[in-house]
Amino acid sequence: MIQMYHVFKSFAAPAAALEDITFRIEAGEFAVLTGPSGAGKTTLLRLLYAAERPDRGHIIVNRRNVTRLARRRIPEFRRSIGIVFQDFKLLPTKTAFENVAFAQRVLAIPEREVRRQVANVLKRVGISHRKDALPPQLSGGEQQRIALARALVNEPALILADEPTGNLDDTLAQDLMALLYEVNLDGTTVLIATHDRKVVASAPGRVLTLDHGRLLSS
């Protein structure tokens, strides 16, 4: 599902953000990417969803060479993966339902189908009762469920989550992780970037450790 071959990435800072990263994650795996703050976890994920380009190396995600992806192909590529962020990144002026529906509308799915699928996914993450609320009216845990629903609604083959529990307390973090395991059991590949040791300790799958832009274990 994910393959990185000798990937290098640097920004303006003297130290490289990522240095010679090589690893592979199979379809259906549940993997955790960990390391201290500034280790390069977010940069690695941004490379995977084509928000950044590597300086060198090759990245293959879901059988597509992201390194050579034309700019106009990026939207189509992103629709094949679901992304969850620490700060949720919900559209603040759209209701919970509309936020999830947006991911379907970009695919030009008929409105009746959108309503059906969005209702199903909101039920699946247990947030149906809050579908008409705007993000600022929702708690952190509820917002993250909406973000997860949006990531899941198009039934992607891969879920990328960047510090998904970062803004949640322990109980909500456990609930969210349980949802992600469940998604993984249904066959979706999941890669979570986190520095939360409890999450790492309880994760069922492989752990990849980054430090100062280098991959220590995979």
Partner 1 sequence: MYYLREALRNFYRHRRVNTVAIFVIATGMLLVSGVALAYVNFRQFAASWGRQVQMVIYLHDGLTADRLEAVRMVLSQAPETVSVEYTSKDQAMQQLRARLGEQAKILQGLHTNPLPASFTVTIRDEFRQPDLLRDRVEAYKRLPEIEDIDYGERWLERFHSLVWTLEIGVIGIGGIMGVAVMFIIATTVRLALYTRAEEIEIMQLVGATLWFIKVPFFLEGVLQGVFGAGLAVGLCYGLFTALMTWVQPMGGLLLDLSLVQFLPLSVIAGMLLGGAFLGGLGSLFSLRRTTASA
- For binding to partner 1 (CB under 8 A), which residues are involved? 49, 51, 72, 75-79, 83, 89-93, 102-103, 105-107, 150
| Residue 168 phi, psi dihedral angles, 5° rounding | -120, 150
Are the CB atoms for 143 and 131 separated by under 8 Å? no
Name residue, tokens 């469940």.
182
Distance CA 85, CA 155 (A): 18
Shortest approach of partner 1 to residue 101 CB, angstroms? 11
Shortest approach of partner 1 to residue 82 CB, angstroms? 9
Shortest approach of partner 1 to residue 151 CB, angstroms? 9
Shortest approach of partner 1 to residue 158 CB, angstroms? 13
Residue closer to partner 1 by CB (options 105, 198) is 105
Between the two ends of the chain, the Cα-to-Cα distance in Å is: 15
Q: How far lies 175's CA from each of 125, 131, 148, in Å?
A: 10, 19, 12
Name residue, tokens 């999941």.
190
Residue closer to partner 1 by CB (options 76, 182) is 76
Distance CA 101, CA 119 (A): 9
Are the CB atoms for 200 and 207 separated by under 8 Å? yes
Shortest approach of partner 1 to residue 81 CB, angstroms? 9
Shortest approach of partner 1 to residue 91 CB, angstroms? 6
Residue closer to partner 1 by CB (options 36, 75) is 75
Residue closer to partner 1 by CB (options 103, 177) is 103
Q: How far lies 2's CA from each of 51, 78, 119, in Å?
A: 16, 14, 30
Residue closer to partner 1 by CB (options 5, 77) is 77
Q: Are strands 2-9 and 206-211 parallel, antiparallel or unpaired?
A: unpaired
Residue closer to partner 1 by CB (options 74, 200) is 74
